[in-house]
Amino acid sequence: MSIKVKEVKNKKDLLEFIKFPMKLYKDNPYYVPPLIQEEKQALDQSLNPVFNHAIAKYYLAYKDGKIAGRIAAIINWKEVKEQNKAKVRFGWFDMINDIEVTRALLEKVYELGRENKLENVEGPVGFSNLDKAGLLTKGFDKIPTMVTLYNYEYYEKHLRELGFEMASEWVEYALELPEVLPKKVIKFSGLIMKRYGLKLKKFKTKDDLREVVDPMFALLDKTYGHLSSYVPIPKQQIEHYKEKYINFINPDFVSCIEDTEGNMIAFAITMPSYSKALQKAKGKLFPFGWWHLLRASKKNDTAAFYLIGIDPAYQGKGVTAIVFKEMFQTFSKHGIKYLETNPELAENKNIQTLWKDYNPVNHKRRMSFKKDL
């Protein structure tokens, strides 16, 4: 057995890096491939503004001459210097069921960390909080959402055998929407609106949404800034994510609440589920991938919950009832019967209260893992 690890240095290798999991999970009915072009843009250090304050190296592992794994070694200098977290990250982490391949890949991450005098390593995570993160530890027989990872069960076993322990844990929920919203929710929502002088803001076009992206990210900082794993998103990176996701968002699926002075105090973004459409697209928009995605946006019975922000001054005051009422009305209009959340930090009980009255099923869990260098 011969294992070699090589750094990705050219476009051909980068394409192999992106496509490797598509080969690894070729016959797996649950894996959802990303769009290849979007992966290229995310990993291209001349295109992704995250590299204004981050560095990354990509590696491919070869066993007996065949690609057997991949990994990205990442340092987010904003996290290291501004938050005093001496951490090297790893992501884009996939490999065959051979712990020696996993060991060889992680050694490259350790090297980058030690070269830069960092103290620990954590992964799988991305460049920032809006990238895919967290190793799946429950829900291997479930299709992931568009913005989450899928992996085999042996990934966790490898990491634990190599001395890693849990760093963060996320939970995901599935729920079947009621045919009619309980009257108490409607009544309570109206009372909260009146008590605090709140009003709803509606969006008709994607340009309308673009105008509120900056306030949304400012509210995200307020909402999650106290959490240990949160890293603020710089403005240039916000622009990058705006363009990456705006085409997937139907303005109708965005709820926004303002106070009497027009300040945003809460928002929620949901989308029709694109997971099955992405499986059919097989990583490509053309010739037919775009059609599958377009069809999923217009005819779907399942939605995915992507982002929520609630000003801390209004948390615990019933604003979540308003958010859910607005979401429910949108879902009813579009024929949505099922809702799936994206990862929520297990400790973030404020967000999880949004679902508590609707029989949520915790169908997936995921973790990031850490180790001292």
Q: Is the pLDDT of residue 18 over 90?
A: yes
Mark whether 77 and 36 lie in a shared domain.
Answer: yes
pLDDT in tens, 359-370: 899 999 999 999
Mark whether 80 and 10 lie in a shared domain.
Answer: yes
Mark whether 136 and 55 lie in a shared domain.
Answer: yes
Cis peptide before 287 (omega within 30 of 0): yes
More confident residue, 146 or 247: 146
Band of pLDDT at residue 9, cut at 50, 70 and 90? very high
Band of pLDDT at residue 336, cut at 50, 70 and 90? very high
- Looking at residue 35, its pLDDT comes to 95
The burial of 1, by beta-carbon neighbours within 10 Å (0-12 exposed, 13-18 middle, 19 or more buried), is given as exposed
Mark whether 296 and 249 lie in a shared domain.
Answer: yes
- Looking at residue 307, its pLDDT comes to 86
Average pLDDT for 306-313: 88
- Looking at residue 351, its pLDDT comes to 74
Structural domain that includes position 341: 175-364
For the chain, what is the domain count? 2
Average pLDDT for 332-337: 93
Q: Is 78 a domain residue?
A: yes
Residue 177 DSSP label: P
Band of pLDDT at residue 1, cut at 50, 70 and 90? low
Q: Is the pLDDT of residue 255 over 70?
A: yes
Q: Contacts from 324-333 at CB under 8 Å and sequence distance 24+? A: 324/185, 324/354, 325/181, 325/185, 325/186, 325/189, 326/200, 326/255, 326/268, 327/255, 327/268, 327/270, 328/177, 328/181, 330/252, 330/253, 330/255, 330/270, 331/177, 331/270, 331/303, 333/252
pLDDT in tens, 162-216: 999 999 999 999 999 988 888 888 899 999 999 999 999 988 888 888 888 888 8
The mean predicted confidence, pLDDT, of the chain is 92
Average pLDDT for 267-296: 93
Mark whether 231 and 295 lie in a shared domain.
Answer: yes
The burial of 27, by beta-carbon neighbours within 10 Å (0-12 exposed, 13-18 middle, 19 or more buried), is given as exposed
- Looking at residue 75, its pLDDT comes to 97
> What CATH number has the domain bearing residue 115?
3.40.630.30
The CA-based angle 295-299-305, given to 5 degrees, is 100
Mark whether 143 and 208 lie in a shared domain.
Answer: no
Average pLDDT for 282-296: 92
- Of all residues in the chain, the percent with pLDDT exceeding 70 is 98
Band of pLDDT at residue 228, cut at 50, 70 and 90? low
- Looking at residue 182, its pLDDT comes to 84
Mark whether 136 and 277 lie in a shared domain.
Answer: no
More confident residue, 205 or 157: 157
Which among 139, 170, 201 is the end of a domain? 170
Instruction: Tell me the two tokens of residue 266.
Output: 């809460």
Mark whether 28 and 141 lie in a shared domain.
Answer: yes
- Looking at residue 82, its pLDDT comes to 86
Mark whether 158 and 206 lie in a shared domain.
Answer: no
Average pLDDT for 324-334: 91
- Looking at residue 247, its pLDDT comes to 78
Average pLDDT for 63-92: 95
pLDDT in tens, 160-169: 999 999 999 9
Which among 125, 147, 170 is the end of a domain? 170
Mark whether 150 and 207 lie in a shared domain.
Answer: no
